[in-house]
Amino acid sequence: MRFLYILTLSICIPAALLAQKNVPGYMGKKWNFQYQAYLYPSFNNPNGEEPNIVSADEIDVPTSLNFQNHFSIAYTISKRMEVLAEFSAAKTNFDPYHSFIYEMDVAKVYYPEMKARGGAVGIRLYTKHFAPLGSYFAFKIGYTKVTADDLNYSIVDFYTGGPDEDYTIEGGSKGAPTLTASFGNNRIIADRFIFSYGIDFTFFAGGIFNWKPLLADESRGDYIEFGYPETYNDENQEAYLKKAAARYAMMSMINVKIGVGFLL
């Protein structure tokens, strides 16, 4: 996170110098506080714990909505520019198995939970009106940490067909930088309140080697050796976290955003 602090200072110090010139924002209001919901279809990635088991060889994951929370504080430093700081939070589930035979390995399939927390700093450039009114382009750079819960599972007993000994792949965290470009529009109501909408494109570096085709069924990444947990303990945990990071990378790639806020 150290580089994020350095980036924050590198943006805030010039902003403070510009602010000394007393450049007004919209109606003299310089502070812009917003909450935005990020939404986009999951494209067959799970958003819940329980799978829909169609048969012994097939599990169906219906398309649903990804959901993320973003909170931002922006300050107007010129007629058409804001600097901003943002905090984001997300929670979903992911498929750590990714093998056409995993139903034969694991006695009970379920999708573990993962959380993502991040921060970013950046700028918004407005095209026609005084900031923060109207259409804008934004660029942000930040850092996000993905945390996955433990995965508890049992291997199918070869002779009985029932569950055998229980095993656990420990969860953990994986963090990486993010780069974001977005386009949006702010509508101001009663000179105080904001309704915003737009589209956001985010690249999460932690999932770069685990991305999959957009419409595929499971995250790519290293295969977890469920049948040999003691031999491949470290490798299994690394592969497990890669799959969680890939899930976040995919759910952040493109998002439609809708938000509300107020000016001070």
The domains located in the chain, with CATH, are 2-263 (2.40.160.20)
The larger pLDDT score, comparing residue 215 to residue 200, is at 200
Bond prior to 41 in cis (omega within 30° of 0):
no
- Mean pLDDT of all residues belonging to the chain: 83
- Tell which residue, 39, 27, 122, 24, has the closest CA to residue 73: 122
Residue owning tokens 């229980």: 166
Give how far Cα 49 sits from Cα of 22, 194, 223, 224, Å.
52, 36, 20, 19
pLDDT at 73 exceeding the cut of 90: yes
Work out the average pLDDT over 150-159: 82
Residue 15 is predicted with a pLDDT of 53
pLDDT of 2 strictly over 80 = no
Range of weakest confidence among 49-53, 86-90, 98-102: 98-102
Using the predicted structure, report yes or no on whether residue 69 has a pLDDT greater than 50: yes
Residue 223: pLDDT band (50, 70, 90) is confident
- Rounded Cα distance, 255 and 248, in Å: 12
Mean pLDDT of 96-116: 74
Q: Among 93-97, 126-130, 174-178, which is the least confidently predicted range?
A: 93-97
pLDDT of the residue at 220: 47
Which pTM was predicted? 0.83
User: What is the per-residue pLDDT for 100?
Assistant: 43
Q: 21-43: b or e for each residue (b if 16 or more CB lie within 10 Å)?
A: eeeebbeebbebebebebebebb
Q: Does the pLDDT value for residue 53 go beyond 80?
A: no
**pLDDT for res 75:** 96
Average confidence (pLDDT) over 100-104: 48
Least confident of 69-83, 171-185, 239-253: 239-253
Residue 222 has pLDDT above 70, yes or no: no
